[in-house]
Amino acid sequence: MNILAFESSCDETAAAVVADGRTILSNEIFSQVALHEIYGGVVPEIAARSHLEVISLLADRALEKAGLARADIDAVACTYAPGLIGAVLVGVNFAKSAALALDKPLIPVHHIRGHIAANYLAYPDLEPPFLCLAISGGNTMLVDVRGYTDMRILGQTRDDAAGECFDKSARVMGLGYPGGKPIDDLSKQGDDRAYDLPRPAVNDGNPYDMSFSGLKTAVVNIAHHAQQTDEALDKPGLAASLCRAVSETLVGRTMDAAKALGYRSIAVAGGVAANSRIRADFEAACRKAGRTLYVPPLRLCGDNAAMIGAQGYYEYLAGHIAGPDLNAYATMEI
């Protein structure tokens, strides 16, 4: 079954064709991150208008790269929640018209479910149940994946996402935007005990909830203090200490949950999964605890449409199909 899939929930506009939820036939992405780098951080982007301009182009290119004609498409899937409403609507409306024109079913997909499904593309043998940590600029979420379309949030960030903590720390350290990669690179030359950073703890209520704003604020304070006192900032040391603090929190919570729920398989999804410290710590922890780790390659970690096509397949099998009255939603439970 060939699914033509669309993703437009935030900064990226993307179209892809995925066969049977597992095989990528094409995966086209238009990203504005390049613009970010030129402008140095805060930039013209997230434009619903720009999603609109590129989406039909991307759709044609996705078909062409897949080597398929329109008639070869069996269903159309799109992200319908959550996200910036104007942006999500562009994908939803385009997918609706495509489904109508092709006379094929329309499949709505939850964006975070899509991130989790990126693992199905990377690991053909992976099947639920498993535990998934979804970590990106906007999300930090521990999900109990009981079935392809049956999942529950075990815990999430109470304030900032892990990726946001990296980006904002990078900014006060003068490392540019996006900050994840430069912090990762710099941390490799630094001592991860150079700075004593707080371990974000959430003591009330849910043991799997997380917090990263205290860590962000600690890094901001250290950077400002160095500026005011003209002391040299040990940037590699700060980067390494930050990576260690974030990683210990994420890996710790995830391993605790895996133990409590008895999961053998742990998957990581989202852009922050690219961080080498987090990867290495997960690998070590899983080896020690005898659990299997799944981390998709970088190109499937960020927002993309192939992951929507993968999840779309399983939504279709579960009978989750929408009519032409499908709406977009800014917020939505997983």
Ligand X SMILES: Nc1ncnc2c1ncn2[C@@H]1O[C@H](COP(=O)(O)OP(=O)(O)OP(=O)(O)O)[C@@H](O)[C@H]1O
- Residues pairing with 108 in the sheet: 78
Selected from 168, 171, 235, 277, the binder of ligand X by CB under 6 A is 168
Selected from 28, 164, 184, 281, the binder of other proteins by CB under 8 A is 164
Stretch that binds ligand X, among 65-73, 126-134, 209-217, 286-294 (CB under 6 A): 209-217
User: Is 159 one of the binding residues for ligand X (CB under 6 A)?
Assistant: yes
Please name the residue that has the structure tokens 């917090």. 211
Selected from 19, 22, 48, 181, the binder of other proteins by CB under 8 A is 48
Selected from 83, 91, 270, 312, the binder of other proteins by CB under 8 A is 83
Query: What single string gives the DSSP state of each residue in 96-141?
Result: HHHHHHHT--EEEEEHHHHHHHHHHHH-TT--SSEEEEEESSS-EE
CA 50/CA 10 separation, integer angstroms: 11
User: Is 214 one of the binding residues for ligand X (CB under 6 A)?
Assistant: yes
User: Is 159 one of the binding residues for other proteins (CB under 8 A)?
Assistant: yes
CA 78/CA 69 separation, integer angstroms: 19
User: Is 115 one of the binding residues for other proteins (CB under 8 A)?
Assistant: no
**Identity of residue 99:** A
CB of 223 to ligand X, least distance (A): 13
Helices (H) and strands (E) in the chain, counts: 11, 10
Give the phi and the psi of residue 212 in degrees, each rounded to 5.
-125, 0
Q: Could you tell me the two tokens for 191?
A: 């001592």
User: Is 202 one of the binding residues for ligand X (CB under 6 A)?
Assistant: no
Q: Could you tell me the two tokens for 147?
A: 């079935």
CB of 127 to other proteins, least distance (A): 30
Distance between start and end Cα atoms, the chain: 25
CA 275/CA 247 separation, integer angstroms: 9
Stretch that binds other proteins, among 69-77, 217-225, 228-236, 260-268 (CB under 8 A): 217-225
CB of 40 to other proteins, least distance (A): 11
Nearest Cα to Cα of residue 3 among 159, 11, 13, 22: 22
Contact code string over 249-288 relative to other proteins, x by CB under 8 A: ----------------------------------------
Residue numbers of the site for ligand X (CB under 6 A)?
159-160, 168, 213-214, 217
Which residues make up the interface to other proteins (CB under 8 A)? Answer: 10, 39, 42-49, 82-86, 136-138, 156-161, 163-164, 167-168, 171-172, 213, 216-217, 220-221, 330-331
